[in-house]
Chain A
Amino acid sequence: MEHKNKFLRNLFIILVFIFLYLPIAVLVIYSFNKAKTNIVFTGFTTKWYTELFKNRDLLEAFINTIIIAVTSTVTSTVIGTTAAVGLYKYKFLGKNFVNKLLYIPIIIPEIVLGIALLSVYTLMNLNLGMFTLILSHIAFSIPFVITSVRSTLSDTTKKIEEAAEDLGASKFKVFKEITLPLIRPGVISGATLAFTLSMDDVVISYFTAGPGSNTLPLKIYSMIKTGITPDVNALTSLMLLTVIIILTISIIYQSRKIRKKVVA
């Protein structure tokens, strides 16, 4: 009875993962399909991978997407981390109001933020393109970084900081040597979240990109109407492979650190 129960529970977990990975798995499999249409599997080939490196337009879209993700992640992590510390440490006029504003991008529908940003860029006469894309991605990432960092700040961090300041360390030194190591998990998870949200985003990019921009979601959106070529499948597989490699390294690195701690 108990045994059967355990089996059913594990089966449920496996089914959820199959559901989550099914559409990606399909694309990975079809990236090795000889036929150009994603309907019948006619034979194994790796030609779409070489084809991918000839498709300048698609590669450019991918590189732009990475540039946007990296730039917006770095910027929003720096601003978000220092802001979380500053908002925790200091009192100032309007602090409550700023805190309330920071929740808005997290809760309102992305499409509303997207059209609101588009409207303001138009009002300011900004040309839509890479710059507005990066700015918009920073705009929706900062609040997530702040919430993530805030969750690692506590009275204890505050007390240690104060002790260091009393001993004569400058505020910057305290931030660098005391605060940052203490809040590191929050910073890392905030940055990961910012990067993930940026890579995944369709809605905000759709409105703030402008006609000349070439990013992955826009490229694929236009291809869905005209027909997706198998080199997109190849690109998806490579993206997934990269993520898995990075994740494996980070898991090994983390478990090593835990082991080191145990030994020490």
Chain B
Amino acid sequence: MNKKLDLFKNISLWPVVIYSFVLILLPLLYILFLSFCETDYVGGINYHFSIVNYLTIIDSTYLLIFAKSALIGIITTLICLVIAYPFAIFLMDKKEEVRNALIKLVMIPFLTNSLIRTYGWIVLLRKNGIINNGLTSLNIIKEPLSLMYNNIGIIIGMVYTLLPFMILPVYAAVNKLDPNLIKAAKDLGANKFHVFKDIIFKETISGAFNGSLMVFIPAIGYFFISDILGGGKQMIIGNLIKDQFLTARNWPFGSAISIFLIIVTFLLVRVYKKIGGNIDELGGM
């Protein structure tokens, strides 16, 4: 009926179409293209088809970095889960206004930059930092503990930076639970562990997986945390990509690792959808 030009339709859709093609599709296609090129070893790119970058990934030194990143990511994710679940469940006792205010409080630290907060951890964790000074002056320890410039430092930094991304989806999922369900189970004699395992966790598993994705995926890429708290010696995939782009200037190899990460991400999202996760809720805060 209305065949005339729909101005609102055009104004609302053209910007997003242009945006998604120019700032999402084009950059990704371009690094896909670069990943099949070769470096000329002076920072430039040889534009002829090659799969050498993908073969290099399978090299043992790089596989070791991948394995280590995955391990750090998994440990970080598990620690975040172990903190977020009780936090979300205990929050349910509170009134709605209190709950909303507390969830806002979880987000506030984000408004100071995450690098500043990571720096705060240096002040706490280093050899003559607050934690070590406190523990030695209380005579709990004699020698200062090595809390940073190692994997412990990286994991503390990762858990700290990413915990809110676990708390929010887990809280949202727990919040949707029917309290009668838990009450019924308790009345029927289920112990706390069974209530958690068979009801709470089962019903909120997509929230848990959502949070796990939002923690695990950044954790393998946050080079600044391993740079600062790992002391620059401890490499994760993020450092490897960063070095390929800014120091070694081997963009094709850096692109190949990035494409590999994208594939891993897509596979994880597939699993998330399989277990009944809603893609619209990913990254929702």
Q: Measuring CB to CB, which residues of chain A are less than 8 angstroms from any residue of chain B?
A: 6, 9-10, 12-13, 16-17, 19-24, 26-27, 30, 38-39, 65, 79-80, 82-83, 85-87, 89-90, 92, 94, 98, 101-113, 115-120, 123, 135, 138-139, 142, 144, 146-148, 150-151, 171-172, 175, 189, 193, 195-197, 199-203, 206-207, 216-217, 220-221, 224, 228, 232, 236, 239-240, 243-244, 247, 251, 255
Number of A-B contacts (CB under 8 A): 248
Given A20-B106, A107-B265, A111-B221; A120-B26 close (CB under 8 Å): yes
Chain B residues near A9 (CB, 8 Å)?
A: 86, 90, 93
| B242 engages A111 (CB within 8 Å) | yes
Contact B114 A111 (CB under 8 A): no
Is B47's CB within 8 Å of the partner chain A?
no
In angstroms, Cα B101 to Cα A167, docked, is: 41
**Interchain CB contact under 8 A, B87 and A150:** no
B87 touches A236 (CB 8 A): no
Q: Known interface pairs A83-B13, A109-B217. Does A171 touch B93 (Cβ–Cβ under 8 Å)?
A: no
Residue of A nearest to B86 (CB): A12
CB pair A101–B106 under 8 Å, yes or no, is no
Question: Is the beta-carbon distance between A26 and B27 smaller than 8 angstroms?
Answer: no
Distance in angstroms between the alpha carbons of A10 and B6 in the assembled complex: 56
For B104, the closest partner residue in chain A by CB is A247
Across the interface, B120 reaches (CB within 8 A) one of A26, A110, A150, namely A26
Decide yes or no whether B222 CB sits under 8 A from chain A.
Answer: yes
Which chain A residues border B246 with CB–CB below 8 Å? 207
The answer to whether A200 and B111 touch (CB under 8 A), given A101-B25, A104-B28, is yes
**In the complex, chain A residues whose CB is within 8 Å of the CB of B120:** 22-24, 26-27
Q: A189 CA to B103 CA in the complex, in Å?
A: 13
Q: Give the Cβ gap from B279 to chain A, nearest Cβ, in Å.
A: 6
Residues on B with C-beta less than 8 A from A92 are 13
Give the nearest-CB partner of B258 in chain A: A112
- Give the total of B residues in contact with A, Cβ under 8 Å: 88
Contact A109 B221 (CB under 8 A): yes
Say whether B20 contacts A107, CB under 8 Å.
no
Q: Complex: how many Å from CA A261 to CA B115?
A: 42
Q: Does B123 contact A27, Cβ atoms closer than 8 Å?
A: yes
Smallest Cβ-Cβ distance to A88: which chain B residue: B12
> Is B66 interfacial (CB 8 A cutoff)?
no
A107 touching B31, Cβ below 8 Å: no
Given contact pairs A112-B258, A228-B119, A119 touches B31 in the complex (Cβ within 8 A): yes
Q: Are B160 and A106 in contact (CB under 8 A)?
A: no
Task: Closest B residue to A62 by CB, please name it.
Answer: B113
- Is B42's beta carbon under 8 Å from chain A? no
Contacts of B30 in A (CB 8 A): 116, 119-120, 123
| A-B contacts, 7 listed (Cβ < 8 Å) | A16-B163, A27-B120, A79-B16, A112-B241, A116-B28, A117-B27, A120-B30
CB distance from B211 to the nearest CB of A (A): 13
Q: Are B31 and A116 in contact (CB-based, < 8 A)?
A: yes
**CB of B179 within 8 A of chain A?**
no
Inter-chain contacts of A148 with B (CB < 8 A): 284
Contact with A109, one of B91, B110, B218 (Cβ below 8 angstroms): B218
**B148 proximal to A (CB < 8 A):** no
Q: Is the CB of B121 within 8 A of A13?
A: no
Residues of B within 8 A of A110 (CB): 218, 221
Nearest residue in A to B89 (C-beta to C-beta)?
A9
Point out the residues of chain A lying under 8 angstroms from B283, CB to CB.
106-107, 144, 147
- Taking CB as reference atom, which chain B residue is nearest A237? B112
